[in-house]
Amino acid sequence: METILSKRIQSLTQSEIRIMSIECEKRNGINLSQGICDLPLPPVLAEEAKSAIDHGENHYTRYDGINELRSAVADKLFQYNRMTVDPDSEVIITSGSTGAFYCACLALLNPGDEVIIFEPFYGYHEYTLLALDLVPVYAKLSPPSWSFSPEEVESLITEKTKGIMINTPANPSGKVFSHQELDQLADICVSHNLLIFTDEIYEYIVYDGLSHISPGSLPAIRDRVITISGYSKTFSITGWRIGYCACREGLARPIGCASDLVYVCAPSPLQAGASKAISTLQDDFYKALCDKYEKKRNLICDAMKEASLLPYVPQGAYYVLAEAGQIPGDTSKEKAMHILEKTGLALVPGSAFYHGSGGENLMRLCFAKEDQVLEEACERLQALKPKTYINT
Ligand SMILES: Cc1ncc(COP(=O)(O)O)c(C=O)c1O
């Protein structure tokens, strides 16, 4: 029988990350393409989740999450993000931050609406919009500092524009939006009556003494921001699917209905584990996490510089984008395959983060790996040193 695909699914291609992961597995290589953290999870999290299973917390929860987790998230939003939200009506626990963004778009936007996203972008942001018949409109982030032009952003706005997507710290660029930049975007959103979707999944991974600033903490835009985050990265639990969104009640209620429809609820015992960990772990846990990643960042960036993969040293998150102009290959896919063949390291071709023909000279590497794996990767990178090309 002929394969039947919806038009929406036809527009989604298999992600470069998955393709590189498969190629890497075939060669028994080191996978630096996927944003999976190798790090161990905090013991309190697993203990509480196991105990919740043993105590029968294995059923549907309230559609917006268990009381303890909504309260823990609201307290954390107050203390860390400087946002005041009502745990009973302004926090929705979701199936990861991915589920939060999908449900926010499903609940608040209509087919044909336009959303501005910054490029290079995180693929799921673009694909989520496309899957819902929404239209991504691309605003440029320019290296080396990944700055944007507020004038360019404003020039992209049409009568169909309904929102702007911010990702801070950003994947893949590592950009941490400054207060001034957020104020500029806030002014634009107020004057054009736009929503702001903000994905802050890497909020605790910020380097060089910089601070994470949540757009939702800016009073001028509090009512138009949908803050999205979760614990996949902070607690190294990407498979648990614990995320949330926080916004004013009028937006939170429909997002909760959408989340109920698509996911029913986030996994019950894992919600219990997460709420215990959020309320138990102190500042030293988050500081140690950040310090650990900063050391890994420095290690890998130094090795990349020596290996002709010139890194744009990230301000946050755990990816590095690098200029790969000196690596053989006409496209970033060819360059990624060359790197895999030469070193056994899987990276993501830069084209995965751009629409059209952008990103062909870029490569992304994820450094959320155990130290010995990262050290091995640094050593293997040296096979890319220019002198190795002379006789090949
Ligand atoms: C920017 C960004 N948002 C969201 C996610 C996924 O988060 P979650 O596991 O909470 O769905 C990722 C994972 O790589 C990411 O890079």
What is the per-residue pLDDT for 391? 46
The amino acid occupying position 315 is Q
* Whether residue 347 is found in the same domain as residue 250: no
What is the per-residue pLDDT for 27? 87
**Interatomic CA distance for residues 229 and 85, integer angstroms:** 14
Asked if the structure places residue 289 within a domain, the reply is: yes
Q: Which of 229, 263, 280 is the last residue of a domain?
A: 280
Q: Which of 255, 280, 305 is the last residue of a domain?
A: 280
In short, whether 122's Cβ falls inside 6 Å of ligand 1 is yes
Contact 361, 333 (CB under 8 A): no
Looking at ligand 1, which residue's alpha carbon is closest to its atom 7? 97
* Whether residue 270 is found in the same domain as residue 293: no
**Rounded distance from Cα 173 to ligand 1 centre (Å):** 14
Asked if the structure places residue 86 within a domain, the reply is: yes
| CATH number of 345's domain | 3.90.1150.10
* Whether residue 181 is found in the same domain as residue 223: yes
β-sheet with 319-323: strand ranges across: 310-312, 319-323, 362-366, 348-349
Residue 388 has pLDDT above 50, yes or no: no
Exposure string over 349-384, b if 16+ CB within 10 A, otherwise e: bbbbbbeeebbbbbbbbbbbbeeeebeebbebbeeb
* Whether residue 260 is found in the same domain as residue 336: no
**Rounded distance from Cα 135 to ligand 1 centre (Å):** 20
Tell me what percent of the residues of the chain surpass a pLDDT of 70. Answer: 97
Ligand 1: atom nearest CA of 98 is: 11
What's the distance, Cα to Cα, between the start and end of the chain in Å? 48
* Whether residue 256 is found in the same domain as residue 311: no
| CATH number of 222's domain | 3.40.640.10
Asked if the structure places residue 320 within a domain, the reply is: yes
Ligand 1: atom nearest CA of 232 is: 9
**Rounded distance from Cα 171 to ligand 1 centre (Å):** 9
Residue 294 has pLDDT above 80, yes or no: yes
Tell me what percent of the residues of the chain surpass a pLDDT of 90. Answer: 86
**Rounded distance from Cα 232 to ligand 1 centre (Å):** 7
* Whether residue 102 is found in the same domain as residue 64: yes
* Whether residue 103 is found in the same domain as residue 182: yes
If one counts the domains in the chain, the total is 2
Asked if the structure places residue 24 within a domain, the reply is: yes
Q: Which domain holds residue 207?
A: 48-280
**Interatomic CA distance for residues 324 and 1, integer angstroms:** 44
Q: For every residue of the chain, which 3-state class applies, written as one string?
A: CCCCCCHHHHCCCCCHHHHHHHHHHHCCCEECCCCCCCCCCCHHHHHHHHHHHHCCCCCCCCCCCCHHHHHHHHHHHHHCCCCCCCCCCCEEEEEHHHHHHHHHHHHHCCCCCEEEEEECCCHHHHHHHHHCCCEEEEEECECCCCECCHHHHHHCCCCCEEEEEEECCCCCCCCCCCHHHHHHHHHHHHHCCCEEEEECCCCCCECCCCCCCCHHHCHHHHHHEEEEEECCCCCCCCCCCEEEEECCHHHHHHHHHHHHHHHCCCCHHHHHHHHHHHHHCCHHHHHHHHHHHHHHHHHHHHHHHHCCCEEECCCECCEEEEECCCCCCCCHHHHHHHHHHHHCEECEEHHHHCCCCCCCCEEEEECCCCHHHHHHHHHHHHHHCHHHHCCC
**Rounded distance from Cα 150 to ligand 1 centre (Å):** 26
Q: Which of 233, 254, 280 is the last residue of a domain?
A: 280
In short, whether 64's Cβ falls inside 6 Å of ligand 1 is no
Asked if the structure places residue 391 within a domain, the reply is: no
In short, whether 238's Cβ falls inside 6 Å of ligand 1 is yes
Ligand 1: atom nearest CA of 99 is: 11
| Residue to mutate (ligand 1; options 101, 233, 237, 319; most atoms within 8 A of CB) | 233
Asked if the structure places residue 392 within a domain, the reply is: no
* Whether residue 24 is found in the same domain as residue 92: no
Asked if the structure places residue 2 within a domain, the reply is: no
**Rounded distance from Cα 201 to ligand 1 centre (Å):** 6
Residue 355 has pLDDT above 50, yes or no: yes
pLDDT tens, position by position, 113-133: 999 999 999 999 999 999 999
Q: Which residue has the tokens 């806030």?
A: 186
* Whether residue 302 is found in the same domain as residue 272: no
pLDDT tens, position by position, 299-348: 999 999 999 899 999 999 999 999 999 999 999 999 999 999 999 999 99
* Whether residue 19 is found in the same domain as residue 56: no
Q: Which residues contact 216 (CB under 8 A, 6 or more apart)?
A: 77, 81, 83, 198, 222, 225, 227, 246, 247
What is the per-residue pLDDT for 392? 44
Ligand 1: atom nearest CA of 231 is: 10
What is the per-residue pLDDT for 18? 83
Comparing 15-29, 88-102, 135-149, 234-248, the range with the smallest average pLDDT is: 15-29
Q: Which residues contact 55 (CB under 8 A, 6 or more apart)?
A: none
Residue 387 has pLDDT above 70, yes or no: no
In short, whether 35's Cβ falls inside 6 Å of ligand 1 is yes
* Whether residue 156 is found in the same domain as residue 290: no
**Rounded distance from Cα 243 to ligand 1 centre (Å):** 9
Segment 208-220 mean pLDDT: 97
Residue 16 has pLDDT above 90, yes or no: no
Contact 257, 103 (CB under 8 A): no
The amino acid occupying position 271 is Q
* Whether residue 209 is found in the same domain as residue 330: no
Can you read off the two tokens belonging to residue 379?
């050593």
